[in-house]
C-alpha cells in the first residue's frame, strides 16, 4: 500500500495524548509531513517529538501544500466547520476529532463540503474502535441478549485526568486567560466533551435514531464555568431507553472509567473498566491510578485502529469506517440534552434540525 | 422495668415480626408492642414504626396520628391530605426498606456526615426480575425514599421517562430529580432481569462529590457459585429490621423532615412528570 502523507491541525491535548502517538505507531502507512497550531511552541513540540517535516501557525498554509493526502483535525469543536470545509476545498481527506461541530448546521455544511469535493470525511468517535465496545456490539448484533431495551452508560473523570500523561502541551486558551474547554463562550461542557461519546454508543447499541431526550446538568467543580455534570434519558424511536450520568471533576484519586450496560429481553451485556484500572497504587494519599487514562479498556488501541482504518479506507477506495452522519446524529443528541438541561423541557430531536431552528 | 411499651411496631408480616423479635432481644427491659391489625387499638403512646405491607401503611400511620403518636413508616402510596400534612409538619416520617441493608445504612450515614465534600449527584439503579414487575412501584418508592435520605434537601424539579420495555405494562422508570442544593439524582428502576425466585435483583448506588465517591452494590453480599450446572448465588443480607429501627430512631431525632417531604413529593410528582412527559417544577 502507498504511504499516505498527513498533516495534523491542532497540537493540543488530544493530539499529544492520542493522535500523534497513533500516527507514529502507524508509520508504515503514514508519513507525518506537517503540523499546524496557532501556538508556535505547541506545533514545534510536536515536530520535535513526532518528526514532522515542518510546522505552521496558520493551518491554511498546511492545506496549501500539494503533498498532503489527508489532514487530522484535533482542534476544538467551534473551529471544526471552518477547518473541515477549507480542507475539503483543498482536496484533502479529513479525519476530524469529536464532537463533529458546535451546531447541527455546521455538521451539515461539513458533510456537504466533503461530498462536493469528493473527499472522505470521518469523525473520530474513538470508542467505536475499541475491542471492548466492538465485542459488546457484536454480542448484541448476534442476538445473544435478544431485543435491546436499555442502554446505560456512566462516565467518571477525576480532576487530574491528564496529569499522569506528561503532555508536551495542553488546552489552548483563545483569550489568554483560561482553556477553551472550561470557557462557556467556546463550549457547552460535558455534553460535548464526554457525552457525545455516550450519545454515539447509545445510538449504536439501540440501533435507532433518538426520538427525544430529558436532561439535567450543573456546574459541580470549583473554578468551573461550564456544566461538568450531565445526566440524561433518551427515548429512541424503537422504544429503547438510553441513559448516562457523566461526572467530571471528581477527586484526583478517583479513576477515569466508563461503564456500559445493555439489557435485552433475553439477557444483558456489561462492560466496566475493571475496578477500575490495571495498575493501582495505595498510599497515604489514597488510591492512585498512574496509568489509568491510556491503559483503560474503553480506550485500548482505539486511536490506532481509528486512524489506521481511516487510512486503509482511503488507500483502497472504500467508504469511511464510520459515516459522518452518525457523528452528526450524536452531536444533535448532545445539543438536545443541553437544551433540555437548560429549559427543563423534553426536547425532541426534530427540533434540532436546522430547518426547525 | 417499664410496664409501657417503648416502641410500637405496626404490621403483620415477616418484617414486622422479626423487627419486634430483634428489638426485644436488643433491649430486653423495654417492651415492644407488635401492632398487628388496624382494627386493634393503639395500646400506648410509644413511637410507632410502620413496617406493614404497602396497602396497610396509610391506615396504621393515620391511626397512630389520630392517637397523637408520631410515626415513622415505609413509603406510603397515595397519602391523603391529612397524611401529607403530617409529613409536612414532621409528625409522620418516611424511610425505605433499603435502609435495612447494612451497606446502604452505612452509605447513608457517610453521605450525611460530609464524607463526599460538596455533593454533585446521586446515581441509583435497581434492576429486578421480569416476574416481579408487579412490585415495580414499591421498588421505585423505596429507591426514591432512600435517595432523598442521601440528599436531605428540598426537591425542585422532576423529569420522568417510563417504558414498557417490550411488555404490556410499565416496566421501567427513569427519573431525573433536581434538588434545591443543586444535587441531581438519576434514579432508574426496571424489570429487566431474567425470571428469578427472589426480587432483590441488581442494585447500585453512587454518591459523587468533590472529596469522595461512595459506591455501594449490596448484591455483592452474597455467595457466588460457578459450577458445572451454571451460576448460582445466595445472598446473605443481614436481618434488615435492626437497621430499619435504627433509621426510625434517626428520623425521629431530626429537627426537620426535609427528607420525608422530598420523598413524598418525588413519589407523587413522578406520575405527573411521566404523564406530562415534561419536567415538573416542585
Residue that terminates a domain, selected from B56, B73, B90: B73
- Which pLDDT score is estimated for A76? 94
Same domain? B123 vs B213: yes
Pick the CATH number of A4-126+302-319 from 3.40.50.1700, 3.40.50.720, 3.10.580.10, 3.40.50.920: 3.40.50.720
Provide the residue ranges of all domains of chain A, joining segments of one domain with +: 4-126+302-319, 128-299+333-343
Cβ contact, residue pair A251, B211, below 8 Å: yes
State the nearest Cα–Cα gap between A61 and chain B, in angstroms: 44
Give alpha helix (H) positions in A142-255.
190-193, 195-206
- Best mutation site among B119, B120, B153, B182 for testing chain A: the one with the most A CBs within 10 Å? B120
Same domain? B129 vs B45: no
- Which pLDDT score is estimated for A247? 94
- Best mutation site among A344, A348, A351 for testing chain B: the one with the most B CBs within 10 Å? A344
Cβ contact, residue pair A214, B279, below 8 Å: yes
pLDDT, tens digit, for every residue of B33-56? Answer: 999 999 998 888 899 999 999 999
Q: How far apart are CA A158 and CA B114, in angstroms?
A: 19
Residue B238 pLDDT exceeds 80: no
- Which pLDDT score is estimated for B47? 92
Same domain? B46 vs B164: no
- Chain A to chain B Cβ contacts (< 8 Å): 110
Residue B235 pLDDT exceeds 90: no
In a domain, B139, yes or no: yes
Retrieve residue B91's grid coordinates: 409528625
pLDDT band at residue A158 using 50, 70 and 90 as cut-offs: confident
Chain A residue numbers with beta carbons less than 8 Å from the beta carbon of B212 are 251
- Which pLDDT score is estimated for A280? 55
Cβ contact, residue pair B213, A156, below 8 Å: yes
Residue B227 pLDDT exceeds 80: no
Q: What would the mean pLDDT of B3-12 be, rounded to a whole number?
A: 86
Cβ contact, residue pair B163, A149, below 8 Å: yes
- So what's the ipTM on this one? 0.87
A241, A265, A268 member nearest B161 (Cβ) = A241
Phi and psi dihedrals of B205, rounded to 5? -125, 130
- Which pLDDT score is estimated for A161? 60
Cβ contact, residue pair B278, A344, below 8 Å: yes
- Which pLDDT score is estimated for A162? 55
Q: Is A144 on the interface with B (CB under 8 A)?
A: no
- Which pLDDT score is estimated for A43? 94
| Weakest mean pLDDT among A252-256, B135-139, B260-264 | A252-256
In a domain, B93, yes or no: no
Nearest to A128 by CA among A322, A330, A323, A335: A322
- Which pLDDT score is estimated for A354? 86
Q: Is A276 on the interface with B (CB under 8 A)?
A: no
Query: Which residue range is the domain that position B13 belongs to?
Result: 7-73
pLDDT, tens digit, for every residue of B56-75? Answer: 999 999 999 999 999 999 99
Q: What angle is formed at CA A153 by the lines to CA A152 and CA A155, rounded to 5 degrees? A: 155
Q: How far apart are CA A205 and CA A194, in angstroms?
A: 17
In a domain, B15, yes or no: yes
Same domain? B55 vs B121: no
A212, A214, A266 member nearest B176 (Cβ) = A214
Cβ contact, residue pair B279, A346, below 8 Å: yes
pLDDT, tens digit, for every residue of A338-347? Answer: 999 999 999 9
Number of compact structural domains in chain B: 2
The CATH T-level fold of domain A128-299+333-343 is: Dihydrodipicolinate Reductase; domain 2 (3.30.360)
Same domain? B122 vs B254: yes
CATH code at position B209: 3.30.360.10
Listed by number, the residues of chain A in 231-250 with a beta carbon closer than 8 Å to a beta carbon of chain B are 231-233, 235, 239, 241, 243, 245, 247, 249-250
Chain B nearest-CA residue for A231: B186
Q: What would the mean pLDDT of B110-128 be, rounded to a whole number?
A: 94
Same domain? B263 vs B152: yes
Residue B147 pLDDT exceeds 60: yes
Same domain? B265 vs B183: yes
In a domain, B79, yes or no: no
Residue B1 pLDDT exceeds 50: no
Same domain? B56 vs B130: no
Mean pLDDT rounded to a whole number for chain B:
90
Phi and psi dihedrals of A20, rounded to 5? -65, -45
pLDDT, tens digit, for every residue of A90-113? Answer: 999 999 999 999 999 999 999 999
In a domain, B248, yes or no: yes
Same domain? B14 vs B140: no
Mean pLDDT rounded to a whole number for chain A:
89
CATH topology of A4-126+302-319 equal to that of A128-299+333-343?
no
Amino acid at each position: 500500500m502507498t504511504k499516505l502523507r498527513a498533516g495534523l491541525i491542532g497540537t493540543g491535548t488530544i493530539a499529544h495524548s492520542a493522535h500523534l502517538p497513533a500516527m507514529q505507531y502507524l508509520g508504515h502507512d503514514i508519513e507525518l509531513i506537517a503540523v499546524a497550531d496557532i501556538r508556535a511552541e505547541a506545533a514545534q513540540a510536536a515536530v520535535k517529538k513526532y518528526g514532522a517535516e515542518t510546522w505552521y501557525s496558520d493551518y491554511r498554509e498546511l492545506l496549501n501544500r500539494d503533498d498532503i493526502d489527508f489532514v487530522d483535525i484535533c482542534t476544538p469543536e467551534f473551529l471544526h466547520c471552518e477547518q473541515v470545509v477549507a480542507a475539503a476545498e483543498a482536496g484533502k481527506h479529513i479525519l476530524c476529532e469529536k464532537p463533529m461541530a458546535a451546531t447541527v448546521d455546521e455538521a451539515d455544511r461539513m458533510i456537504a463540503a466533503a461530498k462536493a469535493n469528493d473527499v472522505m470525511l470521518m469523525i473520530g468517535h474513538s470508542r467505536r474502535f475499541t475491542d471492548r465496545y466492538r465485542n459488546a456490539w457484536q454480542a448484541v448484533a448476534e442476538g445473544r441478549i435478544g431485543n435491546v431495551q436499555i442502554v446505560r452508560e456512566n462516565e467518571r473523570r477525576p480532576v487530574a485526568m491528564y496529569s499522569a500523561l506528561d503532555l508536551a502541551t495542553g488546552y489552548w486558551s483563545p483569550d489568554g486567560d483560561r482553556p477553551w474547554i472550561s470557557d462557556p463562550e467556546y463550549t457547552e461542557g460535558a455534553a460535548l466533551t464526554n457525552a457525545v461519546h455516550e450519545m454515539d454508543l447509545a445510538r449504536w447499541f439501540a440501533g435507532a435514531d433518538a426520538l427525544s431526550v430529558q436532561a439535567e446538568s450543573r456546574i459541580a467543580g470549583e473554578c468551573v464555568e461550564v456544566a461538568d455534570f450531565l445526566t440524561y434519558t433518551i427515548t429512541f424511536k424503537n422504544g429503547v431507553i438510553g441513559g448516562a450520568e457523566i461526572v467530571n471533576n471528581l477527586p484526583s484519586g478517583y479513576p477515569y472509567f466508563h461503564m456500559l450496560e445493555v439489557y435485552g429481553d433475553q439477557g444483558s451485556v456489561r462492560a466496566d473498566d475493571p475496578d477500575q484500572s490495571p495498575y493501582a497504587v495505595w498510599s497515604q494519599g489514597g488510591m492512585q491510578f498512574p496509568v489509568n487514562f491510556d491503559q483503560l479498556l474503553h480506550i485500548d488501541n482505539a486511536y490506532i485502529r481509528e486512524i489506521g482504518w481511516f487510512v486503509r479506507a482511503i488507500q483502497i477506495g472504500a467508504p469511511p469506517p464510520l459515516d459522518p452522519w452518525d457523528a452528526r446524529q450524536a452531536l444533535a443528541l448532545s445539543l438536545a440534552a443541553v437544551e433540555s438541561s437548560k429549559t427543563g423541557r423534553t426536547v425532541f430531536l426534530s427540533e434540532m434540525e436546522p430547518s426547525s431552528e | 422495668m417499664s410496664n409501657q411499651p417503648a416502641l410500637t411496631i405496626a404490621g403483620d408480616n415477616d418484617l414486622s415480626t422479626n423487627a419486634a423479635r430483634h428489638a426485644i432481644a436488643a433491649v430486653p427491659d423495654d417492651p415492644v408492642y407488635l401492632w398487628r391489625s388496624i382494627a386493634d387499638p393503639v395500646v400506648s403512646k410509644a413511637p410507632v414504626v410502620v413496617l406493614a405491607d404497602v396497602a396497610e401503611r396509610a391506615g396504621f400511620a393515620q391511626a397512630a396520628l389520630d392517637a397523637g403518636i408520631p410515626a415513622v413508616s415505609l413509603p406510603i402510596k397515595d397519602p391523603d391530605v391529612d397524611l401529607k400534612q403530617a409529613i409536612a409538619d414532621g409528625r409522620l416520617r418516611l424511610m425505605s426498606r433499603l435502609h435495612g441493608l447494612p451497606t446502604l445504612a452505612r452509605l447513608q450515614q457517610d453521605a450525611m456526615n460530609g464524607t463526599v465534600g460538596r455533593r454533585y449527584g446521586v446515581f441509583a439503579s435497581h434492576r429486578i426480575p421480569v416476574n416481579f414487575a408487579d412490585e415495580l412501584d414499591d421498588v421505585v418508592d423505596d429507591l426514591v425514599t432512600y435517595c432523598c435520605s442521601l440528599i436531605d434537601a428540598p426537591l425542585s424539579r422532576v423529569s420522568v421517562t417510563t417504558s414498557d420495555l417490550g411488555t404490556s405494562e410499565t416496566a421501567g422508570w427513569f427519573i431525573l430529580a433536581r434538588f434545591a442544593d443543586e444535587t441531581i439524582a438519576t434514579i432508574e428502576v426496571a424489570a429487566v432481569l431474567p425470571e428469578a425466585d427472589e426480587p432483590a435483583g441488581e442494585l447500585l448506588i453512587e454518591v459523587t462529590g468533590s472529596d469522595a465517591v461512595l459506591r455501594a452494590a449490596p448484591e455483592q453480599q452474597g455467595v457466588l457459585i460457578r459450577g458445572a450446572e451454571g451460576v448460582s448465588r445466595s445472598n446473605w443480607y443481614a436481618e434488615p429490621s435492626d437497621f430499619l429501627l435504627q433509621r426510625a430512631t434517626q428520623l425521629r431525632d431530626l429537627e426537620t423532615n426535609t427528607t420525608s417531604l422530598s420523598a413524598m413529593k418525588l413519589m407523587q410528582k413522578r406520575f405527573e412528570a411521566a404523564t406530562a412527559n415534561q419536567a415538573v417544577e416542585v
